[in-house]
């Protein structure tokens, strides 16, 4: 088992990092391999819908997105962590996720996804919902925990005082590991679900 964790905060030791590292403790206990990619301070362009990836299998902007794509393909699960800025995820995270999911053409079916967010006070659930949509459109089961996956703190490091938030991260990680293991057993016994040819419409006509 392997999990790729994305830290979308520009603060390497900030509250988003605290949340992800709390999950990593459980991955260590469960003997699950993991890697954390810190993308929050990188200059990440947004998708320009050039369709180059449909020909080459990778994004035309050869940066961390293409690196992450290879790691994502090998992983059984993906965790995306973001600080909340103005009731939404960090813009870097959104640009990264849009390009990652649009340009990577490998089958993501039954890879497990989850998102975690860090905020001073509000905007956690809207950010959480926005990030989860990337998993939902890709056939990826979403790991759940004991609450919506948010942690709170104003200054970097404050999240260490959010005991419930830390517990939420540990619960989420345990549930994610269980789900990945269960899916692996299911694939071995039953295989992946049958897929129909994808129909693309504009709601009115083909």
pLDDT at 8: 97
Say if 134 falls within a structural domain.
yes
| Closest of 2, 12, 64, 5 to residue 36, by C-alpha | 5
Both structure tokens of 47:
């998708």
Residue 56 backbone dihedrals phi, psi, to 5 degrees: -105, -20
CA distances from residue 195 to 46, 56, 97, 113 in whole angstroms, order as listed:
30, 24, 24, 20
**Number of domains forming the structure of the chain:** 1
Say if 199 falls within a structural domain.
no
Instruction: Assess contact for 72 and 104: CB atoms under 8 A.
Output: yes
Q: Spell out the residues 6+ positions from residue 127 whose beta carbon is closer than 8 angstroms to its own.
A: 82, 84, 87, 88, 89, 115, 117, 119
CATH of the domain at 141: 3.40.50.360
Say if 69 falls within a structural domain.
yes
pLDDT band at 201 (very low <50, low <70, confident <90, very high): confident
pLDDT in tens, 76-109: 999 999 999 999 999 999 999 999 999 999 999 9
pLDDT at 22: 98
Q: Which domain does 73 fall in, by range?
A: 2-190
Say if 200 falls within a structural domain.
no
pLDDT at 199: 85
Say if 147 falls within a structural domain.
yes
pLDDT in tens, 105-139: 999 999 999 999 999 999 999 999 999 999 999 99
Say if 84 falls within a structural domain.
yes
Say if 205 falls within a structural domain.
no
Q: What percent of the chain has pLDDT over 70?
A: 99
Say if 136 falls within a structural domain.
yes
Residue 205 has pLDDT above 70, yes or no: no
Chain CA centroid to CA 180, Å = 14
pLDDT at 21: 98
């Amino acid at each position: 088992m392997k999990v790729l964790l994305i830290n979308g905060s520009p603060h390497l030791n900030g509250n988003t990092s605290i949340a992800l590292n709390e999950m990593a403790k459980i991955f260590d206990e469960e003997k699950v391999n993991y890697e954390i990619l810190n993308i929050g301070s990188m200059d990440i362009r947004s998708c320009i819908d050039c369709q180059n990836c449909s020909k080459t299998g990778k994004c035309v902007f050869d940066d961390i997105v293409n690196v992450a794509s290879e790691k994502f393909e090998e992983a059984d699960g993906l965790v995306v962590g973001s600080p909340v800025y103005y009731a939404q995820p960090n813009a870097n995270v959104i640009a990264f996720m849009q390009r990652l999911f649009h340009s990577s053409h490998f089958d993501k079916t039954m890879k497990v996804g989850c998102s975690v967010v860090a905020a001073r006070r509000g905007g956690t659930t809207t950010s959480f919902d926005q990030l989860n949509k990337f998993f939902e459109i890709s056939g990826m089961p979403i790991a759940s925990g004991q609450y919506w996956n948010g942690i709170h703190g104003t200054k970097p490091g404050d999240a260490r005082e959010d005991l419930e938030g830390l517990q939420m991260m540990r619960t989420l990680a345990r549930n994610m590991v269980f789900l990945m293991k269960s899916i692996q057993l299911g694939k071995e016994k039953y295989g992946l679900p049958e897929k129909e040819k994808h129909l693309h419409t504009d709601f009115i006509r083909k």
